[in-house]
Chains A and B, each alone.
Chain A
Amino acid sequence: SLVQLACNSSKTRSVSVDLNNDTALIIDIPDALCERDKVKFTVHTKTTLSSFQKPDFSVPRQHEDFIWLHDTLVETEEYAGLIIPPAPPKPDFESPREKMHKLGEGEATMTKEEYTKMKQELEAEYLAVFKKTVQVHEVFLQRLSSHPILSKDRNFHIFLEYDQDLTVRRKNAKEMFGGFFKNMVKTADEVIISGIKEVDDFFEQEKTFLLDYYSKIKDSTIKAEKMTRSHKNVADDYIHISATLSSISADDSTAIKKHFEKLADLFEKLRKVEGRVASDQELKLTELLRYYMRDIQAAKDLLYRRARALADYENSNKALDKARLKSRDIPQAEEQQQLCLQKFDKLSESGKRELTSFKGRRVVAFRKNLIEMAELEIKHAKVMLTMIYRCLFDNAYAIMKLALNVVTSRPFP
């Protein structure tokens, strides 16, 4: 189905800190279109840089274009010492779509009202997934635009500016690069990283930390997701309970009628708030964890590249020794050794810088999101408390009224 979304991205941005600090290049995704599974993002750029043809322009982009951009950056050797921002995950509407399907099958078992409410809930979920994917694509671009080196990347500029379909360029790029980095066996990276003899304390610590932290944060992401999903299930149950209480109340002719009516009303109000608690938790907690899990993977990739560079350097040393022994090809070997050493040093220097600022970024983001999550939890709980108190008093009032046999002329304030 066609869903047009004009989303104000500054509101939904959550997991990273304000990235549009550098006013020379401001990027956002003001709207997106969803056709079946394909999402078309409108990437909007405002810039004062002369390297661009216009100061204000937009282009349509697909998810695959983002992936192309990410991959070209990863495969650029010049950037080997940088943490490349993780690629945004593919838009995944599987969960709401499956639920929508199940709902359609179970339509006969529920009242029209229930069905409508469930459908509304699912549409909201669909919308939430949509918003999330827009946000995550936007943040990716903003990470790039705020990076001193990556923001100048030529392919990045092409991505932002090129007003034709990028598909052709994407195909060409694949052929050009041949994926030298991807060809490496990535699954062995942890072994390689832990295997090297580390002389630098900083990197020794980082290595230990990142490897351990990655597995922990991955686990937390999964558990947080399960928790949020259970929460949504509870909110959905409130819909059915409210609907049935309503029908019982409609048929009832005793004093219970009013009580059930008010209880049905309460459950309906509560489920909306519970739904928001669940989605806020998802945004502030689950998405935060998920984002930094991927970011830490990117940091690990940096360590991996540095480890390979170190391995190359060690190999070049061995080759030099061999050359000296054989008294052959010594100058080539020396040159090779120098190159490797330079590369390794450059990676180490850049890597240290990147990893330090990464930690800072991470801490700031966690702080912001944890504060916001706690504030929202408190806010929602207070709202629900008010609703429940109201219902409690309405119920007690009804009993009191009955007991005192008093007929009031004005309604309960």
Chain B
Amino acid sequence: MAEQTDYREPEPGRGEEFSPEAEPLNSNGQNSLLEEEEEEEEEGEDLFTEATEEVSLDSPERDVLLSDGPSPVTPPASLISPHLPHNHLYTHCSFDEMEEEDTPDLFDISILVSDPEKVGEGMNAYMAYKVTTQTSMSLFKSPQATVRRRFSDFLGLHGKLATRYLHVGYLVPPAPEKSIVGMTKVKVGKDDSSSNEFVEKRRAALERYLMRTAKHPVLLKDPDLLTFLECSELPRALSTQALSGAGILRMVNKAADAVNKMTIKMTESDTWFEEKQQKFENLDIQLRKLHCSLDSLVCHRKELSVNTALFAKSAAMLGNSEDHTALSRALSQLAEVEEKVEQLHQDQAGADFYLLAELLADYIRLIGSVKGVFDQRVRLWQRLQDSLLLLQKKRDAEAKLHANKPEKLQQARDDIREETEELEGKVQQGERDFEQISKTIRKELFRFEKERVTDFKEVIIKYLESLVQTQQQLIKYWEAFLPEAKAIS
């Protein structure tokens, strides 16, 4: 009954193949999937407790890298949920059964963002969204939770997760971007299609953001995320200026950039990282290009929809003016058909946008995170090099002291010994940090690639279904019109 787990350490060189018989490399010393599974089912405790018990002080998983916030807990290498319910992770997919076979998800969670409601008036107004979480995981207090959140709450959550996890190499999904123009329109009370579209776009983006974050096995267990999803009252997140997705990345990257610019390039001992970095650079460029083309498609299809509507009205007028009865009726029917076709184009443009374009936008931002963690790794390497340099200097100084004045200045020698030991400790810690982040990044990228495959496959199928829908409707409408045209005598 060994189910494929989503999150485990890959053996080196295995790449992204799907292999259900993989051997678990469990940091907790347990080799068998089954053992752990039984254990969990016996205890029935929530995962959080179990994880804290298993992590010992000697475990290399202990994370002391962070200066603030609680240490992220590395989950045990296998997380299994006994049953895999349908439809939970993907809310509108009809190929779910097949998806499960491919990558059986262990996270039984469904998060919906809905019912945007304007609160307040004028420039202080804001949109509140309903966030509904449905789950059977024991991590949560109850199987269903509904809370109301505003956009800055999301940014606040992201800010906390980013500060906590980005620094150690976890790919924290970026939050949706702020938009001054879009939001102002809504505040000012413009109830037109463009501000409705903006709210819908944001709602969908927030939903995707939460799902993506929840899918991350480490982030899911973060107390702030749980609070966000479950608690009815949330302290207002202030200064979200710096905490937008882009803002966080800028913070992380600024330091990295500064370092990169002044020192020598990192001597990459691991070609894996070099390869991956190049690959993501290329992918970034390609995805941006694709996104651009899709934007153009959405724009043109919307134009087509508008022009079809205009033509429909014109055809109706022409039909009214026509004095031949049968032709007049046919022209009116034509106008009706074109009106329906207009709606089809509108819907298809929606699919173009919400399915394809937004997915690409999400991934372009995610790749930004990937670049961020790569840079963070370089930064840690830099720190290590600095420590090594200092250590060497201290050692040289120590040796000099030894050579010159062997007996005198015992105090000085003691001092230097102390400092050297301190630096040695720093170096060791630096090496551990670097190793840790390298390991984490490998894990994260493996998971990322798997998720990318799943996401894209799912969206492609949904999109194809939308195309099918459009063509089927077109056939229906024109087949209904044909007899009308033939009836002209």
Q: Does B472 lie at the interface of the complex (its beta carbon under 8 Å from any beta carbon of A)?
A: yes
Q: Which of B318-357 contact A (CB under 8 A)?
A: 318, 321-324, 326-327, 330-331, 334
> How far, in whole Å, are A370 and B293 apart by their CA atoms in the complex?
34
Which segment of A173-181, A328-336, A380-388 sits at the interface?
A380-388
State whether A226 touches B461 (Cβ < 8 A).
no
Cβ of A24 under 8 Å from chain B: no
With A395-B457, A402-B102 in contact, do A248 and B287 touch (Cβ < 8 Å)? yes
- Which listed residue (B15, B286, B311, B331) contacts A226, Cβ 8 A? B311
Tell me the minimal C-beta distance from A396 to chain B in angstroms: 6
Task: Using CB atoms, name the residue of chain A closest to B99.
Answer: A399
Residue A170 is within 8 A (CB to CB) of chain B in the complex = no
B457 / chain A contacts, CB cutoff of 8 Å:
255-256, 259, 395, 399
Q: Would you give the shortest CB distance from A379 to chain B, in whole angstroms?
A: 9
CA distance A259 to B282 in the complex (A): 19
Q: Inside 8 A of A224's CB, which chain B residues have their CB?
A: 311, 314
Q: Which of A385-413 contact B (CB under 8 A)?
A: 385, 388-389, 391-392, 395-396, 399-400, 402-405
Cβ of B83 under 8 Å from chain A: no
In the bound assembly, the distance between CA atoms of A359 and B296 in angstroms comes to: 43
User: Is A162 interfacial (CB 8 A cutoff)?
Assistant: no
Docked-complex contact A209 and B323, CB < 8 angstroms: yes
List, in ascending order, chain B residues with CB within 8 A of A259's CB. Answer: 456-457, 460
**Chain B stretch 442-480: residues in CB contact (< 8 A) with chain A:** 449, 452-453, 456-457, 460-461, 464-465, 467-468, 471-472, 474-475, 478-479
Decide if A338 is an interface residue (CB 8 Å cutoff): no
Decide if B18 is an interface residue (CB 8 Å cutoff). yes
Bound Cα distance A404, B449 (Å): 21
A238 within 8 A of B: yes
Cβ A233 vs Cβ B303 within 8 A: yes
> Known interface pairs A219-B317, A230-B307. Does A363 touch B95 (Cβ–Cβ under 8 Å)?
no
Which single residue of chain A is at the shortest CB-CB distance from B468? A388
Stretch at the interface among B62-70, B72-80, B114-122, B481-489: B481-489
For the residues of B in contact with A, the DSSP-based class is: helix
Q: Is the CB of A251 within 8 A of B283?
A: yes
Give Cα distance in the complex from A229 to B304, angstroms. Answer: 8
Complex CA–CA separation, A270 to B323 (angstroms): 39
CA distance A212 to B321 in the complex (A): 7
Residues of A near B303 (CB, < 8 A) are 230, 233
A381 touches B102 (CB 8 A): no
Kindly supply a per-residue 1/0 record for chain A positions 233-253, scoring 1 wherever the CB is within 8 Å of any chain B CB and 0 otherwise.
Answer: 110011011001101100101
Given contacts A395-B461, A399-B99, contact A366 B488 (CB under 8 A): yes
Asked whether A251 lies within 8 Å of B282 as measured between CB atoms, the reply is: yes
Q: From residue A205, how far is it (CB to closest CB) to chain B in Å? A: 8
The interface centre, meaning the residue of B16, B330, B464, B481 with most chain A CB atoms within 10 A of its CB, is B464
Q: Chain A nearest CB: distance from B319 CB in Å?
A: 9
Count residues of chain B with CB under 8 A from any CB of chain A.
65
Residue of A237, A238, A384, A385 contacting most chain B CB atoms (<10 Å): A237
* Residues on the A chain within 8 Å of B95, using CB: 396, 399
Is there contact, CB below 8 Å, between A403 and B290?
no
Which chain A positions have C-beta within 8 A of B456?
Answer: 256, 259-260
Which B residues are CB-close (under 8 A) to A263? 460
Chain A residues positioned under 8 Å from B475 (CB to CB): 378, 381-382, 385
B289 within 8 A of A: yes
Given the complex, which residues of B lie within 8 Å of A241, measured CB to CB? Answer: 290, 293-294, 297
* Complex Cα spacing A405 to B4, Å: 13
Q: Is the CB of B478 within 8 A of A378?
A: yes
Q: What chain A residues lie within 8 Å of B297 (beta carbons)?
A: 234, 237-238, 241
Complex Cα–Cα for A247 and B449 (A): 18
Q: Which of A366, A377, A396, A405 contacts B327 (CB 8 A)?
A: A366
- Whether A220 lies near B322 (C-beta < 8 A) is no
Q: Nearest B residue to A393 by beta-carbon distance? A: B464
Name the residue of chain A whose CB is nearest to the CB of B291: A244
Q: Is there an interface contact between A223 and B472, defined as CB atoms closer than 8 Å? A: no
* A202 beta carbon closer than 8 Å to chain B: no
Q: What is the size, in residues, of chain A's interface with B at 8 Å between Cβ atoms?
A: 62
| Interface residue B258 (Cβ < 8 Å from any Cβ of A) | no
- Give A243 Cβ to nearest chain B Cβ, in Å: 8
Contact with B along A334-353 (1 / 0, CB 8 A): 00000000000000000000
Q: Determine the distance from Cα of A382 to Cα of B474 in the docked complex, in whole angstroms.
A: 9
Give the distance to chain A from B88, nearest Cβ to Cβ, in Å.
18
Q: Which residue of B lies closest to A257 (CB)?
A: B453
Closest to B467 in A: A388
What residues of chain B lie closer than 8 Å to A244, measured between beta carbons?
A: 286, 289-290, 293
In the complex with contacts A223-B310, A248-B283, A385-B468, A404-B485 CB distance below 8 A: no
Question: B315: CB under 8 A from chain A?
Answer: yes
Contact call B471/A384, Cβ cutoff below 8 A: yes
Whether the Cβ atoms of B327 and A223 lie closer than 8 Å is no
Which residue on chain B has the smallest CB distance to residue A235?
A: B300
A219 and B314 in contact, given A363-B488, A396-B95 (Cβ under 8 angstroms): yes
Closest B residue, CB atoms, query A233: B300
Please determine whether B461 and A403 come into contact, CB atoms closer than 8 angstroms.
no
A370 lies within 8 A of B330 (CB): yes
CB of A388 within 8 A of CB of B282, answer no
- Does B192 count as interface, using CB distance less than 8 angstroms? no
Whether A240 and B304, one on each chain, are in contact in the complex, defined by CB atoms closer than 8 angstroms, is no
- The answer to whether A396 and B283 have CB atoms under 8 Å apart is no
Within 8 Å of chain A (Cβ to Cβ): is B216? no
A367 within 8 A of B: yes
How far, in Å, is A279 (CB) from chain B's closest CB? Answer: 15
Task: List 14 A–B pairs whose Cβ atoms lie within 8 Å, in order of A's numbering.
Answer: A230-B308, A244-B290, A245-B290, A248-B283, A248-B286, A363-B326, A367-B486, A371-B485, A377-B478, A378-B474, A381-B474, A381-B475, A399-B102, A403-B102
A residues contacting B by CB (< 8 A) are 205, 209, 212-213, 216-217, 219-220, 223-224, 226-227, 229-231, 233-234, 237-238, 240-241, 244-245, 247-248, 251, 253-256, 259-260, 263, 266, 270, 359, 362-363, 366-367, 370-371, 374-375, 377-378, 381-382, 384-385, 388-389, 391-392, 395-396, 399-400, 402-405
11 more contacts with CB within 8 A, not counting A212-B321, A366-B330, A395-B460, are A220-B314, A227-B304, A240-B296, A248-B286, A251-B283, A256-B457, A259-B456, A259-B457, A266-B464, A377-B478, A381-B474
Could you tell me which B residues sit within 8 Å of A by CB distance?
15-16, 18, 20, 95, 98-99, 101-102, 279, 282-283, 286-287, 289-290, 293-294, 296-297, 300-301, 303-304, 307-308, 310-311, 313-315, 317-318, 321-324, 326-327, 330-331, 334, 449, 452-453, 456-457, 460-461, 464-465, 467-468, 471-472, 474-475, 478-479, 481-482, 485-486, 488-489
